[in-house]
Structure 1
Amino acid sequence: MCLVFVCGEDEKVLSRQPAPGACPYCGGMIQAMDVETRWNFCFLPLYFKTKRRYYCTICTRPLVLQ
């Protein structure tokens, strides 16, 4: 029996810009990234979603807003 995965997820960075504030871990500059996520099934796009993600430029930790 052979199982082939024909689904996939692609992420593409649309833009980057500096965000206000400082990293709570190291005090570095925070950068905001707009990322487009696309789910594919047999190379056919099924789902698109754009998210904004924040991360530190020095320690490269992803930051979560609470």
Structure 2
Amino acid sequence: MLSLFACGKKEKVVSKQEAPGKCPHCGGAVMATVVEEERRLCRCLTLCLETKRKFSCSLCSRRLHSLLP
């Protein structure tokens, strides 16, 4: 049985923009950050490339979660 594991994970911020809504904790503006995540096997083989959108508050820097699927 052969077991593979990822040796490295690299994240790169692609873009940032203001998202609609307010932070439920402090009332600050919400920022949407698009992040490209790359998982590699021993720096030579890319296993997976994902694009994610992360939400955070611009005032208190808390990570926020979207209620939409």
1:52 aligns with 2:44: no
Poorly superposed stretches of 4+, deviation over 3 Å: none
Q: Residue 3 of structure 1 corresponds to which residue in structure 2?
A: none
Gaps of 5+ in 1: 1-5
Alignment of 1:1-66 (within 5 A): 7-43=7-43, 44-66=45-67
TM-score, length-normalised on structure 1? Answer: 0.87
Name the Cα RMSD after superposition: 1.4
Gaps of 5+ in 2: 1-5
Instruction: Look up the SS of the partner of 2:39 in the other structure.
Output: strand
Letter in 2 for 1:57: S
> Per-residue displacement from partner, 1:10-52 (whole Å, max 9, x unpaired)?
0000000000111000000100000001001111211100011
Instruction: Look up the SS of the partner of 1:65 in the other structure.
Output: coil
**% of aligned pairs identical?**
46
Greater strand content: 1
**Equivalent residues, number:** 62
